[in-house]
Amino acid sequence: MARIIKNGEIVADPWCLLAPGAEALGTVTVIKPQLLLPLARWAQELELLEKAGYTVGVWLAPDDAPEALLPRLAQIPVIAIQFPSFTDGRGYSLARLLRQRYGFRGELRAFGDILRDQIYFLHQCGFNAFCLRPDQDIEAAVAALQDYSWSPVAGR
Amino acid sequence: MYIYNEVDQRLVDDRVTQFRGQMQRFLDGRLSEDDFRPLRLQNGLYVQRQSPMLRVAIPYGTLSSPQLRQLAQIARTWDRGYGHFTTRSNIQFNWVRLHDVPDILASLATAQMHAIQTSGNCIRNITCDQFAGVAADEVFDPRPYCEIVRQWSTLAPEFLFLPRKFKIAFSGGEEDRAAVRFHDIGARARISDDGKPGFAIYIGGGLGRTPMLGQVLKEFLPRAELLNYFDAILRVYNRHGRRDNKYKARLKILVKDLTLAGFTRDVEAEWAYARGGPNTVSAESFAAMEAFFAGPGYAGKGADDAEYQAALQSNRAFARWVARNVAAHRQPGYGIVTLSLKKTGMPPGDATASQLDLAADLAERFSLGEIRVSHEQNLVLPHVHRSDLLALWAIAAANGLATPNIGLLTDVVCCPGGDFCSLANAKSIPVAQAIQERFDQLDYLFDLGPLELNISGCVNACGHHHIGHIGILGVDKNNEEWYQVTLGGREGNRAAIGKVIGPSFAAAQIPEVIEKLLAAYVATRHEGEIFIDTVERLGLAPFKTAVYGELHGPHH
């Protein structure tokens, strides 16, 4: 099982992330009962999957509008935000919106091109879980959460 | 001046530690060039033509004497004994070695300085009117607000990976001396009808490949909302600015695409959530910040300036220097002195380590230990009593810092160009020098009067050629360096973008082209009319004719 950082610790990741083009469930065997769906599929298949016994979270691409999640926000266990490249900063604003404006309190996960050198700033914006790029040293990344002993002005 | 508190100091110290580790991993091969590039850029480190270059921030252009000495020390220890002041009040060291950079950053941190966000797609160094706090025409001092915005923008976690760089400028005077309409955000000090301080906010200005004049986003923003409103602007930009094409990624393109009305609507909607929220700046916070910038005690200096008046009469060189290099101070009896870094033979904006030390000494002796850096690439001593001007002038003149050319043709604004910069298409410094050499007659320069000449070595426009009364842009044609000339650019309250006069020239032709433009001006100016006003009155036609001849005149 893949390892991620969650709340400052290295843990096994129980979630299975489905790509937008992934085949419909039922035609493939999904071993994990915990699914992260892309936004469009989450909106369409959530109820069906929950009835079938899956636990369902959602993942957002950087240009997705998080407002689509609002009616069920308090029930969503995990929102994952994709970083196609670590230099694409849109996910930082999505995290801020979800945490500060909409009050999301579940797991907020960064995945994709996630490097130890950005992890401190991702955390400052409200991410509490990190699925790193495969070449990253996960222990070093945990340590990088302490890169600064100071906190930024904005959002303090 | 602002003094770091423990939090500020910890930030820069932690930053040095973090970057030392990143540099070590890069040098070891554990961090790839692609992963390292944005990290080094956000620490001011470029890899240039001949050597890495380190760009150090001088927030809102303000330095103390110890800080200036620290810069001199860096120039001496890790560079080749000089530094280059940029058009955004930074200083660049052009000859640093990669593995020395963490030590240089550590030495900056000991003097409450850093190189954070002097490059990269993030909020850059905040710039400001170089006469802030002392200008006779000031609405109010913008520096406390600059410092508040500096703290907010430094490592602002949400805005470290914007679509493109983001530049903010503040101006406090009735006259805009910070080119606010050529920044992503420009803020001009305003007092509301009911007497409250705030800012007019301009948006979407910029030079570079697609020069645009900033537009008014908000006529009056109450000062308490400064960070909330900037946050709203930045969030709209971060989420919706283009990321597919770096040449279309600046805020000005987003504003154009959404239209000003559309962009304004988005910002106002975002601001509605933040308004009055946790980043609202309290009156107490403003008062605490203003206390750092409270004017020095000017007492103790008598009004006796008989010696000064006598020197003005008897010493022509001194009188000329006063006429060009000393500006009106809000405090009677004082002047604002500009030390020219535009002596012929020195690249514009360059200063040697000994000149930096000397400027630090002069500031301590004559200007209460304070120095400013102007976006025209000169140094400013903001608080000099008239009775000290003669002594100051004598020392500055003996050290190449008193060329009486501020605001004149030879006060050339110029980027490092093809001699250093890997982005440049053409050299810029030799062109500046050729012009300075051709026009070295002070009588002629004084007769020409105020005239701004700006030179950029490529379309990125670090030399701000679009806003020069005369602008020169280096271009590449079939691997040869050519120079395009623009006329009619202007900064200040009547800001305008210059227009290209016609086909470009070889470097060797440029002084002659300038000579023809000047001759056309002298022949057609009205009594007392400055160059740019003549250009505005007559348009480009007579100048094109002067340069290209009748056949290649207006319709070329």
How many residue pairs from chains A and B have C-beta atoms closer than 8 A?
84
The stretch B134-140 carries a mean pLDDT of 94
The stretch B18-27 carries a mean pLDDT of 97
pLDDT at B554 over 80: no
Interior angle at CA B90, CA B88 and CA B94, nearest 5: 120
- The domain defined by B413-548 folds into Sulfite Reductase Hemoprotein; domain 1 (3.30.413)
Q: Please spell the DSSP secondary structure of B253-310, one letter per residue.
A: HHHHHHHHHHHHHHHHHHHHHHTTSTTPPPHHHHHHHHHHTPPPP-TT--S--HHHHH
- Which pLDDT tens digit goes with each residue over A63-105? 999 999 999 999 999 999 999 999 999 999 999 999 999 999 9
pLDDT at B59 over 60: yes
Asked: is B128-285 a CATH 3.30.9.40 domain? The reply is: no
C-alpha B317/C-alpha B325 separation (Å) is: 12
pTM passes above 0.90: yes
- Which pLDDT tens digit goes with each residue over B78-121? 999 999 999 999 999 999 999 999 999 999 999 999 999 999 99
Give the residue carrying structure tokens 């006469």: B131
Is A89–B158 a contact, with Cβ atoms under 8 angstroms apart? Answer: yes
Domain ranges of chain B: 6-62+79-109, 128-285, 314-398, 413-548
Count the residues in chain B: 556
| Interface pTM, i.e. ipTM | 0.95
C-alpha B81/C-alpha A70 separation (Å) is: 59
Mutate to test the interface with B, among A64, A148, A151, A156 (most CBs of B within 10 A): A148
User: What's the pLDDT at B51?
Assistant: 84
- Which pLDDT tens digit goes with each residue over B384-425? 999 999 999 999 999 999 999 999 999 999 999 998 888 899
Is B11–A150 a contact, with Cβ atoms under 8 angstroms apart? Answer: yes
CATH for B314-398?
Answer: 3.90.480.20
Task: Assign B303 a pLDDT band (cuts: 50, 70, 90).
Answer: low
Asked whether the beta carbons of B93 and B58 are under 8 A apart, the reply is no
Domains, chain A, in order of start with CATH, read: 3-21+30-144 (3.20.20.70)
CATH topology of B314-398 equal to that of B413-548?
no
- From the CA of A138, how many Å to the nearest CA of chain B? 14
**B494-516: b or e for each residue (b if 16 or more CB lie within 10 Å)?**
ebbbbeebbebbebeebbebbeb
User: What's the pLDDT at B422?
Assistant: 85
The stretch B212-231 carries a mean pLDDT of 97
pLDDT at B60 over 90: yes
Is A153–B39 a contact, with Cβ atoms under 8 angstroms apart? Answer: no
The mean pLDDT value of chain B amounts to: 95
Asked whether the beta carbons of B185 and B253 are under 8 A apart, the reply is no
C-alpha B169/C-alpha B28 separation (Å) is: 39
* B24 in reach of chain A (CB within 8 A): no
> Which residues of B fall within a CB distance of 8 Å from A70?
none
Quick one: DSSP state of residue A24? P
C-alpha B23/C-alpha B17 separation (Å) is: 10
> Which residues of A fall within a CB distance of 8 Å from B243?
88, 90
Asked whether the beta carbons of A14 and A1 are under 8 A apart, the reply is yes
pLDDT at A145 over 60: yes
Give the residue carrying structure tokens 């036609």: B541
- Which pLDDT tens digit goes with each residue over B169-192? 999 999 999 999 999 999 999 999
Interior angle at CA B56, CA B423 and CA B326, nearest 5: 100
C-alpha B201/C-alpha B311 separation (Å) is: 44
